[in-house]
A and B are shown apart, each in its own frame.
Chain A
């Protein structure tokens, strides 16, 4: 496959299990794994054609042999509910590899925060695997269902925050940073908007760069329809206005460049 060539294909499911209530963990056999980068995503098409649009789901992990991809997602609506019922051997229609991914090479030789919040935790796994830097993996959950914790612990020291205080710091990832007295030269983050706004503010305050992964309702997933834009500080070179496409120019942006 050509470098960064996108393809829509019917792939096969290798396994699926429930990782936490309504959170599913699926391995898919696909040659898209060959060139997948941390922070990229797949668009997954429901088979029920009354729900036409693809669902964008982050790549959580790339198989060691580069022949399979792992996604961890929440069954939140009609499309993801359908996916959650798929079993080993079932087919799945996917479009990938989409988006720009995290600039992992910038981590080299730096003290870095890899921050994930809730369903923003999964893409942090492949990033943690590939980033060569002094890693502080900081993840936040609602409660004691700390999915992917063991996987993350293989790649660096993991600091946990839970909203209900059942595990680790009570609160969110920013509380965990403070409570553990952590600092960094560079941040990578994925999670809900309030978390990303807090990360942006923290990075600004400390004069460091932060790369955040954004999401927005999408239609085409490939940069043609202009549905999924984020406001940008400067005029975007492609759109010629203060908007960038999250599916194509992102989903990863420098926090300082976007208005969130």
Chain B
């Protein structure tokens, strides 16, 4: 073994880590990971809330559209009915007048 080999051997010799090294590494890793971790959850929660809110808004819009449509339908139906009831009364009045004239003659 020449000098170079001895130096290399010495340099690559296994050394024990200084005390507390592992804890410090783990703590730093945890510290650097935490914010990203929470932001991910926050983003997911916001997305879920957004979806729930969106669905609620869409449902409300749909309910309103259906209600308005039903209202228009009902009003048209009531107008037709009201108009026919009026026709019936007019017809009755005509018959009554005619019979009255006949009885007077």
- A and B associate in one complex: no
Q: Which positions in B face A, CB cutoff 8 Å?
A: none
